[in-house]
Structure 1
Amino acid sequence: MSPFEPADSALLFAAIDHCVLVHDAQTKNILWANPAACTALGFTLDELIPLKAPDMSSGARPYRREIGLAWLQRAVDEGVSTVEWCYRSKDGHDIWSEARAVRVDLARGPVVMVQFRDIAEEKATRRDLSRTEGRLQAFLRNLDEGIVVLDDGGRVLFASESAGNLLGREPAALSAADFAAFLAPDSAAVLQELLATSGRGGQPTDARYRLSVSGAQDTLDRWFAVRCQYIDIQHDLRGLLLLFHDITATVRAEEEHRRDAQYLNHLARYNAMGDMAMAIAHEVSQPISAAHNFVAGVRSRLDRDGSAGPQLNWGLDAATRQLDRAAQILQSLRAYVVRLEQSQQRVDLNDIIADCAYFIDVRARQHAVSLRWERTDDPLPVHCEKVLIGQVVMNLAFNAIEEMSRWRAEERSVEIRTGRHGDFAEVCVVDTGKGLSDLHVDRIFDGAFSSKGNGHGIGLALSHRIITRHGGEIEAADNTRRGATFRLRLPLADTDQQ
């Protein structure tokens, strides 16, 4: 026994939110409409019944009467047919709808029941989503940054096209792959630690990974900077999100900087030892010469008195030979130290400054000193050994930074600028420290001066030697208000030479 009376079924049917039209299966005339359809179309039931397709459909070609009749006939023949249809209300408003026609065999004969609902907002949303998806896909394809999501075991749940490009694999090939297998052993260990420690609500973590290229040389390995964070997107995508980009060039540049720094330190020690050796040779050569004269004087007096015996003569000869040997050693040492290998090349002084900027910036950050760079746009071609000139620039900059580190934080500033000064290329390092007024300015570059309690001043002496060997000049002067300016100048290369 049915729990509903026939009248109850009619009330339930009328309460449906979906619009319902009932057409005769043969003539396709409207037989009935529920209240929702009447409300949406703006017609009463009596007004709807005599209407034809052109009276209640859009006038656009896809919604012509013959197309609508064919759609209803498909429902009669096949039992069901669904289309997107544009109805038109009594006031001329278009109603975009998804319409489903179903054949229903009633006692009176077959009819076609059409159910439709307004999908205008859905269509607009789908258009927006499609447009947004297209843009996102375009962005993801052209990103320099790869995106992957890993499960707790480190397997890939999602990979963007850019991730595939960076890893040299198709995104589909990354799916379910063990991400650690793409990494070098040391980087794989870092990843495993992140997987073990990353959790919900944790802060993003930065790391560096090295990609292990099978069969390739170390020089072809690639480095990635990675930002990691745990994500949970509506329980649909949950895991460790990795955003990574290629920093191979940066890592290699850092390695070159480290090698250059080691080389510069080596050169600095070598040249410092040379300066000290020159000083020692100069000082020792005088007492050797004096001793040689004393031996010659003693021999002359003994010969005059006739008191020199064989053993005494042998001792004097041996002493003379040893003094000659010591003089020869000092002469060889001096000749070796003075000799400078000719490794000069044509280079723009601005490029040398750019190479040094990294190290200077690091030192400035360590001492919380702000830097101001003013580099001329004019080319500054010079012939020099660029590593040595770079050493001089860094020495001057480091001295200025160390001086300013003693001042209050808001006063810590160093300016480095380049420019032309006549036929010279010039670099100026300007600080606002205590200046040079109470110092022996004329001895700053001779190796005897140092304002540091534990220093020996060899840095400025070495700088002076390097610049003068290149045919340039280096000087220091007080600023008008406060502080000091150190200038180095190198002869400009002939611009006609290539």
Structure 2
Amino acid sequence: MIQVSGPAQRDGRRAEFAASDLARLFSALEHCVLVHDARTKEILWANQAACSALGFTLDELLPLKAPDMSARARPYAREVGLAWLQRAADEGNSVIEWCYRTKSGTDILSEARAVRVDLAHGPVVMVQFRDIAEEKATRRDLCRTEGRLQAFLRNLDEGIVVLDDDGHVLFAGESAGKLLDSDPEALMAADFAAFLAPDSAAVLRDVLASATRGGQPADARYRLAVSDEVGGPDRWFAARCQSIDIENDLRGLLLLFHDITATVRTEEERRRDAQYLNHLARYNAMGDMAMAIAHEVSQPISAAHNFVAGVRGRLRGDASPEHLDWGLEHATRQLDRAAVILQSLREYVVRLEECKQEADLNDIVADCAYFVDVRAQQHTVALRWEFTDEDVPVECEKVLIGQVVTNLAFNAIEEMARWPVEQRTVVISTRRHDAYAEVEVRDTGQGLSVPQVGRIFDGAFSTKGNGHGIGLALSHRIITRHGGEIEAGANTPRGAVFRFRLPLRRKEIP
């Protein structure tokens, strides 16, 4: 009988087991158990789990030797197995990776642990083994994956850190250390904000405060506190922040960041270039506009001069007050017109703020009719005005938009002046087009080729022998500045169409 002592003794109770009962317990184990004689290494006993795994009955196992139940490979030779069992007999414990062979010839890669047990009739070696083939394959896959990930992480251009709620580093990848010029180990528990400039540190604190579990990633830019060298340019990172919680093992703010210093420097250079170009454009616009409206300014001044000369002539002869008033009034109107044009030029070039007014596009076009009619009469060109009956309210600088109308109309008139008199017609029309007010100027002249249409507003295009090509470029700048569009195309059956659109005032959009 076998007596087992334990907590039951404290209760005054004793549990007694027969040897057969203990055998049944061993047989019920899920781990495979083999018992060898410590001296001869013969198999003395096996539990049911071992018999099932190897495919032998207990009676079939007892006479077997190592070559009968082990893989044929050299690491599992009989002398290797005997030496392993002997170490257990001598030292009390020995572990080996052993490949058993089943009755059907299938190899079972196992972790086998041999333990010396001293029984009443003499010492034995008890072997416990378990199938580790799947586990080892999984371990190999994990090692391979880990090796790949480490290789990727070492060569990433993107740094990886995980921060706690206070911004201290819980984890840092090797690439993060490279980007921050620091050893990854030295980053652990460091305050990440200490690596950033004060303004960027404040941004990081805001991100930490707003990050929520399962929330959307937050993108931001951060500037390093220390440059590459004293007095050197700043270094910048772009970072994506995401709250993570990995199996209760790593919880915090995952920060993926990469160096964008070159990008930021390029953007700064582009901004400086844009500012410089805008500076030049303002002065260039002054020259463009002065050339484009020189004729319009000279016309009212010349007309005023003529009216004044007429008044002077009347004073020598018929000094009727009505005639004198009429002449002086028209001279004043022409001078006022010249003053408005010059004022618009000054505001366009010098003032940065917009100087827009509410107006109806029909009225702006009608205000240009006098000047366009004068030019058409000089070239014997017929004009046809087609005004829409609808209101076309816009918000714009009226003189500038009027300048675009006269520029397009003058171009069409000068083109038609090269054709026979009976063919000289220019049509100027207004209409609503979706959410835009539109002006269109059509002629029946030579028209435009596809290459010409592609470069017509680039500032160097002209079909006139003495043309400088700035009028259309200036018109393009004026219209786009007002949020509109200007385009050119072919007329039917012949000629060209120029049109521009301005947004209707918002309250007028249906």
TM-score (norm 1): 0.59
Paired-residue identity, %: 70
Report the alpha carbon displacement of residue 430 of structure 1 after superposing the two structures with TM.
8.9
Q: For residue 428 of structure 1, what is the aligned residue in structure 2?
A: 454
Residues 47 and 207 from structure 1, CA distance in 2 versus in 1: closer, same or farther, beyond 3 angstroms?
same
Matches for 1:56-455 after TM superposition, within 5 Å: 56-213=69-226, 216-217=229-230, 219-275=232-288, 428=454, 445-446=470-471, 450=475
3-state SS, counterpart of residue 22 of structure 1: strand
Does structure 1 retain, via aligned residues, the 8 Å contact 2:292–2:470?
no
Quick check: 207-216 or 151-160, which moved more?
A: 207-216
Quote the Cα distance in structure 1 between the aligned partners of 2:267 and 2:101.
69
The 1:219/1:445 distance shift into structure 2, 3 A limit, reads: same
Provide the secondary structure at the position in 1 that maps to 2:90.
helix
> Aligned partner of 1:189: which letter?
A
Secondary structure of the residue aligned to 1:112 is: strand
Assess, with a 3 A threshold, how the Cα gap between structure 1 residues 64 and 279 changes in structure 2: closer, same or farther. Answer: closer
Q: Distance in 1 between matches of 2:490 and 2:254?
A: 54
Specify every segment of 5 or more residues in structure 2 that has no aligned partner in the other structure, as ranges: 5-14, 306-432, 437-450, 458-466, 500-510
Q: CA deviation at 1:220?
A: 3.1
Count of residue pairs the alignment pairs up: 333
Displacement of 1:407 in angstroms is: 6.7
**Structure 1 match to 2:406:** none
- The amino acid that maps onto 1:445 is I
User: In structure 1, what residue type is equivalent to 2:489?
Assistant: D
User: Relative to 1, partners in 2 of residues 1:83 and 1:220: Cα closer, same or farther, differing over 3 Å?
Assistant: farther
Q: Normalising by structure 2, what TM-score? A: 0.58
Aligned to 2:52: 39
**1:260 CA displacement:** 1.0
CA contact (8 A) 1:430 1:483 kept: no
- Separation in structure 2 between the aligned mates of residue 236 and residue 150 of structure 1, nearest angstrom: 13
Displacement of 1:46: 1.1
2:454 aligned counterpart, secondary structure:
strand
- Check the 8 A contact 2:111/2:129 in 1, yes or no: yes
CA change 1:407–1:85 in 2 (3 A) is farther
Alignment partners' CA distance in 2, 1:115 and 1:443: 99
Which of 17, 26, 31 pairs up with 1:5? 17
Superposed displacement of residue 212, structure 1: 2.1
Alpha-carbon deviation of 1:219?
Answer: 4.4
* Closer, same or farther: CA 449–275 of 1 in aligned 2, 3 Å: closer
Residues 349-391 of structure 1 show CA distances to partners (whole Å, capped at 9, x for unaligned) of xxxxxxxxxxxxxxxxxxxxxxxxxxxxxxxxxxxxxxxxxxx
- Give the Cα–Cα distance (whole angstroms) in 1 for the partners of residues 434 and 160 of structure 2: 46
Alpha-carbon distance in structure 1 between the residues aligned to 2:39 and 2:258: 66
Decide whether aligned partners of structure 1 residues 102 and 265 sit closer, same or farther in structure 2, where only a CA change above 3 A counts: same
1:274 offset after TM fit, Å? 3.7
CA contact (8 A) 1:213 1:220 kept: no
Task: Note if 1:20 corresponds to 2:46.
Answer: no
Say if 1:127 and 1:4 are closer, same or farther in 2 by CA, change over 3 A. farther
C-alpha separation in 1, matches of 2:143 and 2:262: 37
- Matched AA of 2:454: C
In the alignment, residue 200 of structure 2 is paired with which amino acid? S
In the alignment, the residues of structure 2 paired with residue 109 and residue 167 of structure 1 have an alpha-carbon distance, to the nearest angstrom, of: 67
What code does the residue aligned with 1:428 have? G
Distance 1:97 1:454, change over 3 A: closer
For residues 459-497 of structure 1, what are the alpha-carbon distances to aligned partners after superposition, in whole Å with 9 as ceiling and x for unaligned?
A: xxxxxxxxxxxxxxxxx8525799879xxxxxxxxxxxx
- The letter for the 1-side match of 2:126 is M
Q: Secondary structure at the match of 1:209?
A: strand
Which consecutive residues of structure 1, in runs of 5 or more, have no partner in the other structure? 292-405, 410-424, 432-441, 458-475, 486-498
3-state SS of paired residue (2:116)? strand
Alpha-carbon distance between aligned partners in 2 of 1:448 and 1:63, rounded to the nearest angstrom: 89
The structure with the larger Rg is 2
Say which of 468, 472, 489 aligns to 1:478: 489
User: d(CA) in 2 for partners of 1:449 and 1:110?
Assistant: 107
CA distance in 1, matches of 2:151, 2:66: 42
Q: Which runs of 4+ in 1 moved over 6 A?
A: 277-284, 406-409, 451-457, 480-485
C-alpha distance 479-177 of structure 1, shift in aligned 2 (>3 A): farther
Mapped to 2, the partners of 1:73 and 1:13 lie a distance apart of 23
Letter of the 2:238 counterpart:
A
CA 1:240 to 1:427, structure 2 compared with 1: closer, same or farther past 3 Å? farther
Q: Which amino acid is the alignment partner of residue 23 of structure 2?
A: A
Q: Assess, with a 3 A threshold, how the Cα gap between structure 1 residues 451 and 105 changes in structure 2: closer, same or farther.
A: closer
1:91 is paired with a residue whose SS is: coil
Distance 1:443 1:214 in 2: 50
How far did residue 62 of structure 1 move? 0.6
What is the Cα-based RMSD across aligned positions, in Å?
Answer: 4.1
Cα distance change of structure 1 residues 80 and 484 upon mapping to structure 2, 3 Å threshold = farther
Q: In 1, are the aligned partners of 2:453 and 2:488 still within 8 Å (CA)?
A: no
Cα displacement string for residues 14-44 of structure 1 (whole angstroms, at most 9, x for unaligned residues): 1000100001111111111111101111111
- Cα shift readout 1:205-250 (whole Å, capped 9, x = no counterpart): 1111112226735643221111101100000000000111111111
Deviation at residue 428 of structure 1 after TM alignment: 3.1
Relative to 1, partners in 2 of residues 1:452 and 1:236: Cα closer, same or farther, differing over 3 Å?
A: closer
1:135: Cα distance to partner? Answer: 1.4
Q: 2 CA distance for matches of 1:8 and 1:264?
A: 98
Does the 8 Å CA contact 2:240/2:256 hold for their aligned counterparts?
yes
Using the TM superposition, give the Cα deviation of residue 138 of structure 1 relative to its aligned residue in structure 2, in angstroms. Answer: 1.5
Name the SS of the counterpart of 1:140 in structure 2: helix
Once the two structures are TM-superposed, the CA of residue 4 in structure 1 deviates from its matched residue by: 4.6
Question: Which amino acid is the alignment partner of residue 105 of structure 1?
Answer: D
Q: Supply the distance in 2 between the matched residues of 1:456 and 1:205 (Cα, whole angstroms).
A: 35
